[in-house]
Structure 1
Protein backbone atom coordinates (compact mmCIF):
# COMPACT_ATOMS: atom_id res chain seq x y z
CA UNK A 1 0.00 0.00 0.00
CA UNK A 2 1.35 3.39 -0.92
CA UNK A 3 1.30 6.22 1.61
CA UNK A 4 -1.12 8.31 -0.49
CA UNK A 5 -3.78 5.60 -0.57
CA UNK A 6 -6.87 5.82 1.56
CA UNK A 7 -6.93 3.57 4.63
CA UNK A 8 -10.26 1.84 5.19
CA UNK A 9 -10.57 0.03 8.49
CA UNK A 10 -12.97 -1.13 11.14
CA UNK A 11 -12.66 -1.87 14.85
CA UNK A 12 -14.79 -4.41 16.69
CA UNK A 13 -14.91 -5.12 20.44
CA UNK A 14 -15.32 -8.79 21.41
CA UNK A 15 -15.31 -10.81 24.64
CA UNK A 16 -13.61 -14.20 24.88
CA UNK A 17 -16.22 -16.91 25.39
CA UNK A 18 -15.67 -20.04 27.47
CA UNK A 19 -15.98 -22.40 24.48
CA UNK A 20 -13.07 -20.60 22.74
CA UNK A 21 -10.55 -21.57 25.41
CA UNK A 22 -8.49 -24.63 26.26
CA UNK A 23 -8.42 -26.28 29.73
CA UNK A 24 -6.02 -23.54 30.93
CA UNK A 25 -8.54 -20.82 30.05
CA UNK A 26 -6.38 -19.55 27.17
CA UNK A 27 -7.86 -18.98 23.71
CA UNK A 28 -7.10 -21.94 21.46
CA UNK A 29 -4.88 -20.80 18.57
CA UNK A 30 -7.36 -21.78 15.84
CA UNK A 31 -9.94 -19.34 17.17
CA UNK A 32 -7.87 -16.35 16.10
CA UNK A 33 -8.81 -17.16 12.49
CA UNK A 34 -12.46 -17.06 13.64
CA UNK A 35 -11.78 -13.65 15.21
CA UNK A 36 -10.41 -12.50 11.86
CA UNK A 37 -13.74 -13.51 10.33
CA UNK A 38 -15.53 -11.49 13.03
CA UNK A 39 -13.41 -8.55 11.88
CA UNK A 40 -14.29 -9.11 8.21
CA UNK A 41 -18.00 -9.34 9.05
CA UNK A 42 -17.85 -6.08 11.04
CA UNK A 43 -15.91 -4.43 8.20
CA UNK A 44 -18.51 -5.55 5.67
CA UNK A 45 -21.41 -4.24 7.75
CA UNK A 46 -19.70 -0.91 8.34
CA UNK A 47 -18.47 -0.32 4.81
CA UNK A 48 -21.13 -1.97 2.63
CA UNK A 49 -19.15 -5.02 1.56
CA UNK A 50 -20.81 -7.82 3.51
CA UNK A 51 -20.92 -11.46 2.50
CA UNK A 52 -24.63 -10.96 1.74
CA UNK A 53 -23.79 -8.05 -0.58
CA UNK A 54 -21.22 -10.22 -2.35
CA UNK A 55 -23.65 -13.13 -2.59
CA UNK A 56 -26.41 -10.88 -4.02
CA UNK A 57 -23.96 -9.86 -6.76
CA UNK A 58 -23.53 -13.55 -7.68
CA UNK A 59 -20.14 -14.23 -6.11
CA UNK A 60 -18.51 -16.01 -3.21
CA UNK A 61 -15.07 -15.19 -1.81
CA UNK A 62 -13.22 -18.24 -0.49
CA UNK A 63 -10.02 -17.69 1.45
CA UNK A 64 -6.95 -18.85 -0.47
CA UNK A 65 -4.34 -17.73 2.07
CA UNK A 66 -4.29 -16.87 5.76
CA UNK A 67 -1.50 -15.99 8.15
CA UNK A 68 -1.51 -15.41 11.88
CA UNK A 69 1.33 -14.47 14.23
CA UNK A 70 0.79 -14.83 17.98
CA UNK A 71 2.45 -12.57 20.53
CA UNK A 72 0.36 -12.74 23.73
CA UNK A 73 -2.49 -14.97 24.92
CA UNK A 74 -6.10 -14.01 25.42
CA UNK A 75 -7.98 -15.55 28.35
CA UNK A 76 -11.57 -16.40 29.13
CA UNK A 77 -13.63 -13.33 30.04
CA UNK A 78 -11.23 -10.76 28.61
CA UNK A 79 -12.39 -8.21 26.09
CA UNK A 80 -10.31 -7.45 23.03
CA UNK A 81 -10.39 -5.31 19.90
CA UNK A 82 -10.02 -6.51 16.33
CA UNK A 83 -8.76 -3.87 13.90
CA UNK A 84 -9.47 -4.94 10.31
CA UNK A 85 -7.88 -3.01 7.45
CA UNK A 86 -8.68 -3.39 3.76
CA UNK A 87 -5.54 -3.64 1.63
CA UNK A 88 -6.08 -2.14 -1.81
CA UNK A 89 -4.92 -4.21 -4.77
CA UNK A 90 -5.52 -3.87 -8.50
CA UNK A 91 -6.02 -7.65 -8.65
CA UNK A 92 -9.47 -9.22 -8.30
CA UNK A 93 -9.14 -10.21 -4.66
CA UNK A 94 -9.93 -9.11 -1.14
CA UNK A 95 -6.97 -8.63 1.17
CA UNK A 96 -7.50 -7.85 4.84
CA UNK A 97 -4.96 -7.26 7.59
CA UNK A 98 -5.83 -7.81 11.22
CA UNK A 99 -4.49 -6.71 14.56
CA UNK A 100 -5.96 -7.98 17.79
CA UNK A 101 -5.33 -5.96 20.95
CA UNK A 102 -6.09 -7.07 24.49
CA UNK A 103 -7.93 -4.94 27.06
CA UNK A 104 -4.58 -3.33 28.00
CA UNK A 105 -4.16 -2.29 24.34
CA UNK A 106 -1.23 -4.69 23.85
CA UNK A 107 -0.87 -6.46 20.50
CA UNK A 108 -1.99 -10.08 20.88
CA UNK A 109 -1.70 -11.21 17.27
CA UNK A 110 -1.65 -9.99 13.70
CA UNK A 111 -2.46 -11.63 10.42
CA UNK A 112 -3.78 -11.39 6.90
CA UNK A 113 -6.27 -13.16 4.67
CA UNK A 114 -6.59 -13.22 0.90
CA UNK A 115 -9.87 -14.08 -0.80
CA UNK A 116 -10.70 -14.49 -4.48
CA UNK A 117 -13.97 -14.06 -6.35
CA UNK A 118 -15.81 -17.10 -7.72
CA UNK A 119 -19.03 -16.73 -9.69
CA UNK A 120 -22.08 -18.95 -9.24
CA UNK A 121 -20.53 -21.55 -11.57
CA UNK A 122 -17.38 -21.68 -9.46
CA UNK A 123 -15.27 -19.89 -12.07
CA UNK A 124 -12.47 -17.63 -10.86
CA UNK A 125 -12.95 -13.97 -11.73
CA UNK A 126 -9.70 -12.59 -13.16
CA UNK A 127 -11.04 -9.04 -13.16
CA UNK A 128 -12.78 -7.05 -10.46
CA UNK A 129 -16.49 -7.88 -10.56
CA UNK A 130 -18.58 -4.83 -11.45
CA UNK A 131 -20.10 -4.52 -7.96
CA UNK A 132 -16.62 -4.62 -6.37
CA UNK A 133 -15.18 -2.01 -8.73
CA UNK A 134 -18.21 0.19 -7.98
CA UNK A 135 -17.52 -0.24 -4.24
CA UNK A 136 -13.85 0.62 -4.71
CA UNK A 137 -14.75 3.72 -6.71
CA UNK A 138 -17.23 4.78 -4.03
CA UNK A 139 -14.53 4.31 -1.37
CA UNK A 140 -12.07 6.41 -3.34
CA UNK A 141 -9.72 3.57 -4.26
Structure 2
Protein backbone atom coordinates (compact mmCIF):
# COMPACT_ATOMS: atom_id res chain seq x y z
CA UNK A 1 0.00 0.00 0.00
CA UNK A 2 1.33 3.40 -0.99
CA UNK A 3 0.87 6.22 1.56
CA UNK A 4 1.29 9.85 0.60
CA UNK A 5 2.27 12.41 3.24
CA UNK A 6 1.89 16.16 3.28
CA UNK A 7 2.27 18.78 5.98
CA UNK A 8 -0.16 21.60 6.70
CA UNK A 9 0.58 24.58 8.93
CA UNK A 10 -2.46 25.32 11.11
CA UNK A 11 -3.51 28.90 10.41
CA UNK A 12 -5.32 31.13 12.89
CA UNK A 13 -8.36 31.37 10.59
CA UNK A 14 -8.77 27.57 10.85
CA UNK A 15 -9.28 27.63 14.61
CA UNK A 16 -11.95 28.66 17.09
CA UNK A 17 -11.50 31.01 20.07
CA UNK A 18 -9.77 28.23 22.00
CA UNK A 19 -7.09 27.86 19.31
CA UNK A 20 -8.49 24.43 18.35
CA UNK A 21 -8.98 23.53 14.70
CA UNK A 22 -12.62 23.86 13.64
CA UNK A 23 -13.88 20.40 12.64
CA UNK A 24 -14.74 21.21 9.00
CA UNK A 25 -11.16 22.23 8.25
CA UNK A 26 -10.06 18.61 8.49
CA UNK A 27 -12.15 17.96 5.35
CA UNK A 28 -10.11 20.61 3.51
CA UNK A 29 -6.89 19.00 4.67
CA UNK A 30 -8.19 15.64 3.45
CA UNK A 31 -8.62 17.22 0.00
CA UNK A 32 -5.06 18.52 0.19
CA UNK A 33 -3.88 15.00 1.03
CA UNK A 34 -5.97 13.42 -1.74
CA UNK A 35 -4.59 15.88 -4.32
CA UNK A 36 -1.03 15.14 -3.15
CA UNK A 37 -1.62 11.37 -3.37
CA UNK A 38 -2.89 11.69 -6.94
CA UNK A 39 0.14 13.82 -7.85
CA UNK A 40 2.51 11.37 -6.15
CA UNK A 41 1.04 8.64 -8.36
CA UNK A 42 1.80 10.77 -11.44
CA UNK A 43 -1.61 12.26 -12.25
CA UNK A 44 -3.52 15.53 -11.85
CA UNK A 45 -7.15 15.86 -10.87
CA UNK A 46 -7.28 19.11 -12.88
CA UNK A 47 -6.54 17.13 -16.05
CA UNK A 48 -9.56 14.94 -15.40
CA UNK A 49 -11.73 18.04 -14.99
CA UNK A 50 -10.45 19.34 -18.34
CA UNK A 51 -11.85 16.12 -19.83
CA UNK A 52 -15.28 16.99 -18.36
CA UNK A 53 -15.05 14.41 -15.56
CA UNK A 54 -15.71 15.16 -11.89
CA UNK A 55 -15.19 13.01 -8.81
CA UNK A 56 -17.77 13.99 -6.18
CA UNK A 57 -17.81 12.64 -2.64
CA UNK A 58 -20.59 10.10 -2.14
CA UNK A 59 -19.70 9.15 1.43
CA UNK A 60 -17.47 10.48 4.16
CA UNK A 61 -16.60 9.06 7.57
CA UNK A 62 -14.53 10.97 10.11
CA UNK A 63 -13.54 10.29 13.68
CA UNK A 64 -12.02 13.06 15.76
CA UNK A 65 -9.44 11.75 18.22
CA UNK A 66 -7.41 14.72 19.47
CA UNK A 67 -7.51 18.40 18.55
CA UNK A 68 -4.89 20.06 16.42
CA UNK A 69 -4.06 23.60 17.48
CA UNK A 70 -3.05 26.93 16.05
CA UNK A 71 0.65 27.16 15.24
CA UNK A 72 1.18 23.40 14.86
CA UNK A 73 2.17 21.67 11.66
CA UNK A 74 -0.03 18.61 11.08
CA UNK A 75 0.83 15.65 8.88
CA UNK A 76 -1.84 14.28 6.55
CA UNK A 77 -1.37 10.66 5.47
CA UNK A 78 -3.52 9.53 2.54
CA UNK A 79 -3.89 6.23 0.69
CA UNK A 80 -6.22 4.30 -1.60
CA UNK A 81 -8.20 2.20 0.86
CA UNK A 82 -10.48 0.51 -1.70
CA UNK A 83 -10.95 0.73 -5.45
CA UNK A 84 -13.19 -1.20 -7.86
CA UNK A 85 -12.77 0.62 -11.17
CA UNK A 86 -15.82 2.80 -10.54
CA UNK A 87 -15.57 3.94 -6.91
CA UNK A 88 -12.49 4.84 -4.91
CA UNK A 89 -12.27 5.12 -1.14
CA UNK A 90 -9.39 7.13 0.23
CA UNK A 91 -8.14 6.62 3.77
CA UNK A 92 -6.72 9.42 5.88
CA UNK A 93 -4.93 9.91 9.14
CA UNK A 94 -4.05 13.37 10.35
CA UNK A 95 -1.40 13.65 13.06
CA UNK A 96 -0.61 16.50 15.41
CA UNK A 97 2.85 17.98 15.57
CA UNK A 98 3.64 15.72 18.54
CA UNK A 99 2.67 12.63 16.54
CA UNK A 100 -0.72 12.01 18.11
CA UNK A 101 -3.57 10.84 15.87
CA UNK A 102 -6.00 13.77 15.52
CA UNK A 103 -8.34 12.35 12.87
CA UNK A 104 -9.03 9.01 11.20
CA UNK A 105 -11.25 9.28 8.13
CA UNK A 106 -12.29 7.98 4.74
CA UNK A 107 -14.05 9.45 1.72
CA UNK A 108 -15.63 7.57 -1.18
CA UNK A 109 -15.83 9.11 -4.65
CA UNK A 110 -17.27 8.16 -8.02
CA UNK A 111 -16.41 9.66 -11.41
CA UNK A 112 -19.21 11.33 -13.32
CA UNK A 113 -19.66 13.32 -16.52
CA UNK A 114 -19.74 17.02 -15.67
CA UNK A 115 -22.69 17.81 -17.93
CA UNK A 116 -25.00 14.94 -16.87
CA UNK A 117 -23.57 13.68 -13.56
CA UNK A 118 -23.88 10.15 -14.96
CA UNK A 119 -21.27 7.72 -13.59
CA UNK A 120 -18.43 6.68 -15.88
CA UNK A 121 -15.97 3.80 -15.78
CA UNK A 122 -12.71 5.13 -14.40
CA UNK A 123 -11.06 1.90 -15.52
CA UNK A 124 -12.07 2.49 -19.14
CA UNK A 125 -11.43 6.26 -19.30
CA UNK A 126 -8.07 6.30 -17.51
CA UNK A 127 -6.39 2.89 -17.82
CA UNK A 128 -2.98 4.10 -16.57
CA UNK A 129 -4.53 5.81 -13.57
CA UNK A 130 -6.61 2.67 -12.94
CA UNK A 131 -3.44 0.56 -12.98
CA UNK A 132 -1.73 2.95 -10.53
CA UNK A 133 -4.69 2.71 -8.12
CA UNK A 134 -4.69 -1.09 -8.37
CA UNK A 135 -1.01 -1.13 -7.40
CA UNK A 136 -1.33 1.51 -4.68
CA UNK A 137 -4.49 0.30 -2.94
CA UNK A 138 -4.62 -1.37 0.44
CA UNK A 139 -4.32 -5.14 0.16
User: Given the two structures, how large is their TM-score scaled by the length of structure 1?
Assistant: 0.85
* Aligned pairs, number: 135
Report the equivalent of 1:63. Answer: 57
Asked if 1:32 corresponds to 2:38, the answer is no
Q: What is the rounded CA distance, in whole Å, between the counterparts of 1:60 and 1:36 in structure 2?
A: 17
Residue 7 of structure 2 contacts residue 75 of structure 2 at CA under 8 Å; is this kept in 1? Answer: yes
Asked if 1:135 corresponds to 2:90, the answer is no
Structure 2 unaligned regions, length at least 5 = none
Residue 57 of structure 1 contacts residue 131 of structure 1 at CA under 8 Å; is this kept in 2? Answer: no
User: How far off its partner does 1:138 sit?
Assistant: 4.4
SS in 2 for 1:87: strand
| CA RMSD across the alignment | 1.8
User: How far off its partner does 1:8 sit?
Assistant: 2.3
Residue 95 of structure 1 contacts residue 114 of structure 1 at CA under 8 Å; is this kept in 2? Answer: yes
Structure 1 unaligned regions, length at least 5 = 1-6
User: How far off its partner does 1:10 sit?
Assistant: 0.5
Q: Flag as ranges the 4+ runs of structure 1 deviating above 4 A.
A: none
Asked if 1:115 corresponds to 2:70, the answer is no
| Residues 26-35 or 87-96, more deviating | 87-96
Residue 85 of structure 2 contacts residue 123 of structure 2 at CA under 8 Å; is this kept in 1? Answer: no
User: Given the two structures, how large is their TM-score scaled by the length of structure 2?
Assistant: 0.87
